[in-house]
Amino acid sequence: MKFSLHQKRLGYLLVQRNLFLGLTIALVIVAIIQACFLFTKNERIIISPPELQQSYWVEGDRFSNSYLEEMALFFSHLLLDVSESNVLPQGEILLRYVSSNAYGDFKAKLLKDEKRLRKQQLTLHFVPREVEIIGPLAVAVTGSLRSYVGSSKVVQIQETYRVGFSQSKGRLFLDSFEVIKSEQRNEDDATS
């Protein structure tokens, strides 16, 4: 009787051992698969600051279109909403985001703009109207550039700028900022 009871218990323990062994092997396989995915997948960072209207993401060396648009608007503001007193402080902020290849060109442009604004006592104000992705890491920003001397508006120009970016190690850098289309608007058109 004791022998049959030991046989039953031994059989139950063998079944239990085999069940736990199978479960352990399955969990080890799942852990190995997860580790493989972890090392081959780039992490996607979702950014949603409170002052912006849309969220965007950065994944490895890829950036969402909304991130490129937001950065193009930010750089447009730093370069085109300027007066003689704030062009250099805003330029210092901008230079933090400029690629090393374009740093000298942007620094020279900022100094040249500061001289021109001071000499003409000019203030520029840019109102963006449209932002469009025109290529990988390239954005077109169209808007109205208004020039003021004192408090009176001198001229208003409808311009489109191409903002070129480069990336390094998951970070976006400003590479170029150039006018690709410009048309002068009459005062009558500007007020309507």
Residue-wise pLDDT for 125-172, tens only, equals: 999 999 999 988 999 999 999 999 877 888 899 999 999 999 988 889
CA–CA–CA angle 104, 110, 116 (5° rounding): 135
pLDDT tens digit string along 92-109? Answer: 999 999 999 999 999 999
Whether pLDDT at 51 is above 60: no
DSSP per-residue letters across 103-154:
HHHHHHHHHHHHHHHHHHTEEEEEEEEEEEEEETTEEEEEEEEEEEETTEEE
Cα–Cα distance for residue pair 80/145, rounded to 1 Å: 8
8 A C-beta contact, residue 170 and residue 58: yes
Q: What structural domains does the chain harbor?
A: 44-191 (3.10.450.230)
Q: What is the pTM of this model?
A: 0.70
